[in-house]
Amino acid sequence: MSGRPSEAPPANPLPQTNVDELIAQYDEELPQRTLTRRLDLGVGIVCFVVSLFVLKQVFFPLAQGNQYYLMWFLAFVLPLVFICYRPGFGRKTDVADQAAEVAEAVDSTGTVDSATTAGNPKTAGQTKAKRRSNDNPSIIDWVLVALTFLTCAYPVLPFFSGGFNEFLNRQGSLTSLDVMMGGVLLLLVLEATRRTTGLILPIFCLVFFLYSYYGAYIPVSWPGSHAGQNFDQIVNALYNDASGFYGIPLDVAATYIVLFTIYGAVLDKTGAASFFIDLSFSLFKKSKAAPGRTVALSGFLLGTVSGSGTATAVSLGAVTWPVLKKAGYPKENAGGMLAASGIGAILSPPTLGAAAFIIAELLNVSYGLVLLWAVVPTLLYYLGIFLAIEIDSRKIEVDYTPPPGLRAWPILKKGFYHFISLGIIVVFLSMGMAPFKAVVYATLVGIGFGIIEIVLSRLGEPKTILAAIWDVFYGALSSGIRSVLPVTSVCAAAGIIVSTITKTGLGQVISDILIKGAQALSTDPTAVLIFTCIFAAVAVTILGLAVPVTASFIISWVIVGPALISLGVPEAAAAMFIFYYAVLSEVSPPTALAAVASSAITGGRVIATMWQACKYAIPAFLVPLAFTFTPEGASLVAQGGFIGAVWTGLVSAFAVAALAAGAGGWIIRRAGWPERILCFIAAGALLYLQPMSMMIGFSALILAVIVHLLLRRKPKTTSATTSDIGSTETRSTGSPAESN
């Protein structure tokens, strides 16, 4: 498989077990159990069979229709949550201790002390054995597994409900058994969501459920009052209707997301992660900023493998942090860089995040069109990161020597086929093919090339060839389904909220409140739009701090989306606006899971790492406002034709450059606050994308450069300190315990 050249590795990666543990702690959707070998094998076989069922549905769909398929999909997948996820919230103390040990094991030479990370054979082995023996499902978990399968499959089992058609015929007049089964499934979905994401989303669902039930008790004069629904009506909407549990969110999870997770697993099994990182190192090896540039480019490429911002940041940090440390990057700068690059992966084509598939379904457009909308914002986002990296490489005493023998062409020649499978997705989507078919073909190509490489690299070793091929085929299909377990829970739970908002009209009520709040500040239509967009950005970001990205987007779309659209914002711009702020919650203080996970890798201070992540990701916080403030801004998401996208993209690129200069405090050399303030003014004016504001923006930017040249500050480095934003503490080379 594609791997790092053995004669000249750029870094010794952290052990995979430590990477998995860190992801399990900090990723909002991956706190999985450590199962015993036999049970893990059983779960793997079930997941493999479910993968085959999902692939069959692509080319040979079930005759009974999509809702029938979704019921079976939920019946197969949801019970696995109670096997793979523990009822608590994870072994955070154990994992945090292990993270500290991992960071402490990175010695001053930038390598990993394998003895330390592997642990003492006695203590490490005992700890692992203890975890395995205590982490299997309990009797209660197995009861929940059986009950979940029964309630999910009930509508399609002829000997209970009378069969699928008979169950649908009872819509609006469910039997007592129907209502009981639906009520139990409601509780099970909430519990599965709690296990995979925590308490916040289930609490949201309960609040919406209570609102639906007790709506009649709200005074008529109050906003949001409605006639109320009885328990039977609520269960009918969730369980029998083609909404609720089986609405658009679950449909997207079962038909799009699951196939892309399988594709990502294939890339992972065939060595795409190491190939992307090796290639990035080899491309930038002659630059002092090479380690930082590698993080940014690798983060973009690794997003096709993981699909999660936090997981990408951790996986990337496990390999690149030793190099970043050896080059002289402070812990907080490195952690912020990892977090920003990680979340950038789910903002970028060709795979984006799970919410992008929901955008396509909600707006009834092709997924390829959604990818097109994301092109210019992605370029602006990574322009901001690369400029911030260049600034840091000049402010910090970066001392990077590229490893000998790491050449781009041999690496590219060995693993080029990873780009072929990605290209297939883009080409087939541009030809109008459905994304679920395009990704299946890309998956098959990835498997085929992976098998060819295995055979060529292991000639004369038939046993190892067969084992490796089986690992690619079976392992990828199995782990692909495991990756989609939390997304399935979240999407089923999100159906509760969407159904409530649809049935009660709450979305329009909240939308009106949002607009009236903006009108209270100003009666000018332009000001109302600006204030509404700012309120919406804050609301989506705050919601994203509490719930996963997918759920945050779904909830925000039905609440905030109508407000933006009613003020004249195009649907595409409104959807991408909400998508970006939902994703950015992963680097937004005070939770910022991607930044917290990165700080665990580097041993840096958590809050300072969060602010560094904000510095690197600042274009993504401000550029989405440009989508919505003006009609011209919508051209950034391909709403104004090619020429419109080009000129708005160029102007926005100057705005991003001004943002990077202001946030990083560097133009030609170290910049003072007069120039930085002028850069911030320039960025804000340029992003408004109106003739007068652009004139002001360019004037402010030119003035900033003139002031900067006239002041002639002496350049100085910050080898002993972290960057300007949120951090002044002296960089420590000691243990994480000392740095914290």
| Alpha-carbon distances, residue 64 vs 5, 19, 89, 164, 165 (angstroms) | 52, 43, 39, 8, 9
| Alpha-carbon distances, residue 539 vs 310, 321, 511, 532, 555 (angstroms) | 22, 34, 12, 10, 11
**Does the N-terminal peptide bond of residue 350 adopt cis geometry, omega within 30 degrees of 0?**
yes
pLDDT at 15: 53
Q: Is 109 helix (H, G, I), strand (E, B) or coil?
A: coil
Q: HSE (CB half, 13 Å, CA atoms) of 9?
A: 13
Residues of the chain scoring pLDDT < 50: 1-11, 17, 30, 89-103, 105-133, 717-740
- For residue 290, being part of any structural domain is answered with no
Q: Is 279 helix (H, G, I), strand (E, B) or coil?
A: helix
- Cβ count near 68 (within 10 Å): 18
- For residue 442, being part of any structural domain is answered with no
Domain final residue pick, 484, 501, 518? 501
Distance CA 496, CA 210 (A): 11
Distance CA 88, CA 93 (A): 13
What is the number of domains present in the chain?
Answer: 2
Residues 6+ away with beta carbon under 8 Å from 210: none
pLDDT at 307: 59
- For residue 302, being part of any structural domain is answered with no
Distance CA 73, CA 668 (A): 57
Distance CA 156, CA 39 (A): 28
| String of DSSP letters for 534-560 | HHHHHHHHHHHHHS-HHHHHHHHHHHT
- For residue 493, being part of any structural domain is answered with yes
- Cβ count near 513 (within 10 Å): 14
**C-beta of residue 257 within 8 angstroms of C-beta of residue 481:** no
Distance CA 696, CA 684 (A): 10
**C-beta of residue 178 within 8 angstroms of C-beta of residue 167:** yes
pLDDT at 532: 92
- For residue 21, being part of any structural domain is answered with yes
pTM comes to: 0.79
Domain that holds residue 660: 640-711
Report which of 75, 233, 33, 81 is spatially closest to residue 161, judged by C-alpha positions: 75
Which two structure tokens, joined as six digits, stand for 535? 């309120």
Which two structure tokens, joined as six digits, stand for 165? 């058609």
| Residue the block writes with tokens 């990680």 | 342
Tell me which DSSP letter residue 106 carries. B
- For residue 598, being part of any structural domain is answered with no
- For residue 141, being part of any structural domain is answered with yes
pLDDT at 696: 95
Residues 6+ away with beta carbon under 8 Å from 670: 395, 713, 715, 716
**First-last CA distance in the chain:** 39
H-state helical runs in 346-399:
354-363, 367-395
pLDDT at 140: 93
pLDDT at 716: 53
Distance CA 265, CA 73 (A): 19
- For residue 207, being part of any structural domain is answered with yes
Distance CA 584, CA 545 (A): 9
**C-beta of residue 584 within 8 angstroms of C-beta of residue 617:** yes
**C-beta of residue 86 within 8 angstroms of C-beta of residue 33:** yes
**C-beta of residue 332 within 8 angstroms of C-beta of residue 379:** no
**C-beta of residue 48 within 8 angstroms of C-beta of residue 265:** no
pLDDT at 10: 46
Distance CA 553, CA 545 (A): 12
